[in-house]
């Protein structure tokens, strides 16, 4: 693999495609980057899953969460908001004994709380319209990973708004990561083969 000149954070892989360093080596992360990360998510079920996994990722590496995603899906009823919203204390204890997920009581409870908030938010148009309503007018233009911010005015506003309607574990940094993952902003490096692939920013 070779660096792309000049001054780029992108790495050219054996397939000739340029990716950021974090997605250039691990096959699982490379596949996630190539096929999923930054693709617009506009369905409640999928968006609730992304929001939940980003909350679990807080303080951990995304690779850990991605490797455990099948376990998370099995444990959390495939992230069906209605089913997760009905989880009780027995479910919390069940999840705390499930080695297939990240066993953190606060994050488990947060997922249940956020499922309940997702269901309640349908009366205001739903989670998808609510979140996408905070899409900024501009997106970053990073040449290197160091150019990618970890939060923004939009992610701060989104975090505050979600908290007001009952969501938890939705801080500005976590919400910025969500915005990246669901294509609300494009933080693909300018030299990456995925830059502009969301169709949102041209």
The whole-angstrom separation of Cα 175 and Cα 158 is 7
Cβ-based neighbour number of residue 35 at 10 Å: 9
Tell me if residue 22 is catalytic: no
Tell me if residue 62 is catalytic: yes
Q: What is the DSSP string of 91-136?
A: HHHHHHT-TTS---HHHHHHHHHHHHHHHHHGGGT-HHHHHHTT--
Cα 77 → chain centroid: 19
The whole-angstrom separation of Cα 109 and Cα 4 is 44
The whole-angstrom separation of Cα 115 and Cα 49 is 10
Catalytic residue among 49, 54, 132, 180: 54
Catalytic residue among 62, 93, 132, 153: 62
Q: Enumerate the active-site residues.
A: 32, 54, 62
């Amino acid at each position: 693999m070779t660096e792309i000149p000049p001054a780029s954070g992108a790495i050219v892989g054996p397939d000739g495609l340029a990716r950021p360093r974090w997605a250039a080596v691990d096959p699982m992360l490379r596949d996630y980057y190539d096929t999923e990360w930054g693709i617009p998510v506009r369905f409640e079920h999928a968006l609730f899953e992304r929001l939940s996994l980003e909350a679990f990722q807080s303080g951990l590496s995304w690779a850990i969460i991605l490797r455990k995603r099948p376990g998370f899906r099995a444990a959390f009823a495939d992230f069906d908001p209605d089913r997760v919203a009905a989880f009780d204390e027995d479910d919390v204890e069940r999840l705390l004994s499930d080695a297939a997920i990240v066993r953190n009581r606060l994050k488990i409870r947060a997922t249940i709380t956020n499922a309940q908030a997702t269901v309640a938010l349908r009366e205001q148009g739903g989670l998808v319209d609510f979140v996408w309503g905070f899409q900024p007018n501009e997106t970053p233009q990073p040449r290197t990973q160091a150019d990618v911010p970890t939060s923004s005015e939009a992610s701060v506003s989104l975090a505050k708004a979600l908290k007001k309607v009952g969501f938890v574990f939705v801080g500005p940094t976590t919400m910025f990561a969500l915005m990246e993952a669901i294509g609300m902003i494009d933080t693909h490096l300018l030299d990456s083969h995925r830059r502009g692939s969301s169709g949102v920013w041209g």
